[in-house]
Chain A
Amino acid sequence: MTIATFPPEPKPEPGWGRYFSFCTDAKVIGIQYIVTAFFFFLIGGLLAMVIRGELITPESDLVDRAVYNGIYTMHGTIMLFLFTFPVLNGLNNLLIPTMIGAPDMAFPRLNAVAFWLVPIFGFLLMASFFVPGGPAYSGWWSYPPVSIQNPLGNLINGQGMWITAVALSGVSSIMGAINFVTTILRMRAPGMTLFRMPVFCWTALAAQSLQLIGLPALTGGAIMLLMDLTFGTSFYRPEGGGDPVLYQHFFWFYSHPAVYVIILPVFGIFSELFPVYSRKPLFGYVYVALASFIIVGLGLIVWVHHMFPSGVAQWMRNLFMVTTMLIAVPTGVKVFAWLGTLWGGKLRLTTPMLFCLGGLFNFVFAGITGIMLATVPVDIHVSNTYFVVGHFHYVIYGAAVMGIFAAIYHWFPKFIGRMPYEGLGKLHFLLTFVGANLNFLPMHPLGLMGMPRRVSSYDPEFTFWNVVASLGAFLLGVSIIPFLLNMLSAWIRGPKATHNPWNAIGLEWLLPSPPPEDNFGEDVPTVISRPYGYGTGQPLVEHQDEIERRLELQEAAA
């Protein structure tokens, strides 16, 4: 047979313009999300460099104290609302439709609106640097009464803009969540039952359900905060009969689950990648999938552990200590499942695999300090110290961001159609892993010694560990250079990727790289077995051989 038996592929060779337009293709939106997120990642990272530059000496010498307050507030806000959530939504957009064999998301236009809100509230947040009084300075959680002060009396002030931006981010995330959940529930390929769905989709479903339950509480709390700040109500104002702790409940009811919204998809990434690079099926697939929903259930009833020193009743402290510790059970199930997958596998230490292994290592460390923090006496001792900052950054940077990097290296060939460079990738991994541990490990002894967070000057006895942490931070800053270099040069002139360069199993790997706009179109393959059939020789879909042969022929023709 010849190539001519295939109908000519209508290849319009879409230009760069669509990445700057209101495009409703999930794959374009996914890349829009990821690129926008990394733009803000650089800004947030720059602020982190300023913070660590200030803290390299005990004196407050680099920036003004008031400016410092604004910088750490904006660092946290940008990294969470403008980097982590958008980059994960980008991965959801790329992976969910292709993994379940859907042509697009359930609501393509809603999807595009959700994305375009990100640059809008990003711009709003950035603009707050330039209003009189500067940006918000009450920390990323914006506790009243600090956050309801408006000393200059301007209607447009940094704190007000912060609240509006966070509320808009909530609207965008809810739109995204409705879309992802509907897509996963209603648009799966024939034969793909829930228990034949890749774990990434399970974790995305779990994480997005958490968004839907938790986020409205924060939005409600933020509306009341904005009214206190702007219109003189007294929901959180003690002098008017209000209760500042009420805001903490609203804030943490969402913002603790928000950590699971971030880490659950990363669990999904680990569960996808370990089998590929160990050549073994995922150990305990059903338990890994279901553990995601146990984490959702438990994750909604742990928020008071952020408020142990806020004057809550003793019975609440006891209750929430127990629920918090219980979270270790489903997460432990996952960690042991990954170890079981790795055990006796044929490990291939590619860049994505290295990032996964590093992320897993950091996650276990963060889990142990998490259990320490859940213990009421320890928590009260280290509350508001660098111990908390260290724990949090191990989770978010050490585990989540490394998992995100792993995902980007792993799926880059699929969605861009070109291979990233392994050498630069491994250099990026080395700098990230060493930098992150050098940066965040010293925060634990500092916290135990009693160094408070959110200060620009400190007792000279803390100098040594702070210098180490700052050097680690600068290493992390440098680590982004090989990453950007790798992504840009691979996108422009990297070697062409085949449809399945990692020899992975999954619907997305049965599509050409990059996939056509409507993915499988009308010919969605019928799924006949569970995912991760590595080493079993079992096909994933009907007529798998034919589909693969056709893709190989197309590649040979190109």
Chain B
Amino acid sequence: MTTTTLQQPGTPAEHEQHPKHNLTGFIIFLCSESVIFLAFFSGYALLKTSALNWLPDGVDGLEWRMPLVNTIVLVSSSGTIALAEHFKNRENMLLFRGFWLMSMAMGAYFLYGQAVEWSGLQFGFTSGTFGGTFYLLTGFHGLHVATGILLMGLMLIKSFIPGNYSGGEQGVQATSLFWHFVDVIWIILFLLIYVWQ
């Protein structure tokens, strides 16, 4: 009887984690997450184009030089994280950790620059829709940068677990995708807030 071979006692069907599915799920999440930024961006554009007095009294606009430095750092960190991933695939863990740490540091520098910029501004959260949207957009993006740094830290710690990365990417690819996503969002944000004044 052939059916007896279909079930094997003693080997419970294992269905724990599916690493391949994790990446699929994460990409779907990123697509969905981009809509929330799209909503904020379109809200910003609508409020700005329909505003009678966009800038609050005593504010001439936004200083763009320091944010530009910030932008360059953040965008370059997309390159370093790609290099880190490349070296991980070549199983050169030393260079992987080096470039990975460098990307984390560049993200941290970006957050620091953002904090310095915020502390020097003449307007607050409640200064009309200009102030509200500025802090909402930069704050929400900053939250994503912080999340990205935390994820990278987690991946770095996991890289010291022996054999953790031998079976597959185990989160490195997803984290690096997230980081590219955060960068692309920042470029759009920079164009919308600092360039379009």
B28 contacts the other chain (Cβ, under 8 Å)?
yes
| Interface residue total, chain B, C-beta cutoff 8 A | 45
Q: Is the CB of B35 within 8 A of A213?
A: yes
Q: Complex Cα distance A550/B126, Å? A: 70
CB-CB under 8 A from A430, the residues of chain B are none
A187 contacts the other chain (Cβ, under 8 Å)?
yes
27 contacts between A and B (CB under 8 A): A1-B1, A6-B7, A104-B15, A106-B24, A174-B32, A179-B25, A187-B21, A212-B35, A213-B31, A215-B32, A216-B33, A216-B39, A217-B36, A217-B38, A227-B132, A231-B126, A232-B126, A234-B129, A235-B47, A240-B128, A240-B129, A246-B47, A249-B46, A250-B43, A522-B13, A546-B3, A549-B3
| A114 smallest CB distance to B (angstroms) | 12
Q: Is the CB of B21 within 8 A of A106?
A: yes
User: A518 with B32: in contact, given A182-B25, A234-B126 (CB under 8 Å)?
Assistant: no
B116 contacts the other chain (Cβ, under 8 Å)?
no
| A301 smallest CB distance to B (angstroms) | 14
- 6 extra A-B contacts, CB within 8 A, seeds A5-B4, A108-B15: A178-B25, A216-B39, A227-B132, A233-B136, A235-B43, A242-B129
**Partner of B39 from A7, A220, A234 at Cβ < 8 Å:** A220
**Partner of A182 from B21, B32, B53, B131 at Cβ < 8 Å:** B21
User: Which 10 pairs from chain A and chain B are nearest by CB?
Assistant: A521-B13, A220-B39, A216-B36, A216-B35, A233-B132, A7-B9, A103-B15, A212-B32, A217-B39, A518-B13
Closest residue of B by beta carbon distance from A1? B1
How many A-B pairs have beta carbons closer than 8 Å: the answer is: 136
| A478 smallest CB distance to B (angstroms) | 42
Q: Is the CB of A178 within 8 A of B28?
A: yes
Interface range on chain A: under 10, 10 to 19, 20 to 34, or 35 or more?
Answer: 35 or more
Interface of A is mostly: helix
User: A224 with B3: in contact, given A178-B28, A216-B33 (CB under 8 Å)?
Assistant: no
CB-CB under 8 A from A71, the residues of chain B are none
B125 contacts the other chain (Cβ, under 8 Å)?
yes
B2 contacts the other chain (Cβ, under 8 Å)?
yes
| B57 smallest CB distance to A (angstroms) | 12
Q: Is the CB of A5 within 8 A of B24?
A: no
Q: Which residues of B contact A (CB under 8 A)?
A: 1-4, 6-9, 11-13, 15, 18, 20-22, 24-25, 28-29, 31-33, 35-36, 38-40, 43, 46-47, 50-54, 125-126, 128-133, 136
A181 contacts the other chain (Cβ, under 8 Å)?
yes
Q: Is the CB of A181 within 8 A of B132?
A: no
Q: Complex Cα distance A227/B131, Å? A: 13
CB-CB under 8 A from A518, the residues of chain B are 12-13, 15
CB-CB under 8 A from A459, the residues of chain B are none
Q: Is the CB of A219 within 8 A of B47?
A: no
Q: Which of A108, A110, A216 has the most CB of B within 10 A?
A: A216
**Partner of B28 from A182, A243, A249 at Cβ < 8 Å:** A182
Closest residue of B by beta carbon distance from A553? B3
Q: Complex Cα distance A546/B3, Å? A: 7
**Partner of A550 from B3, B20, B129 at Cβ < 8 Å:** B3
Q: Complex Cα distance A471/B108, Å? A: 64
A185 contacts the other chain (Cβ, under 8 Å)?
yes
**Partner of A242 from B3, B4, B47 at Cβ < 8 Å:** B47
Q: Mark A197-226, 1 if CB is under 8 A from B, else 0.
A: 000000000000000111111011101100
A151 contacts the other chain (Cβ, under 8 Å)?
no
| A177 smallest CB distance to B (angstroms) | 7
A13 contacts the other chain (Cβ, under 8 Å)?
no
Q: Which of B11, B22, B54, B126 has the most CB of A within 10 A?
A: B126
Closest residue of A by beta carbon distance from B24? A182
Q: Complex Cα distance A181/B2, Å? A: 35
Closest residue of A by beta carbon distance from B43? A246
A8 contacts the other chain (Cβ, under 8 Å)?
yes
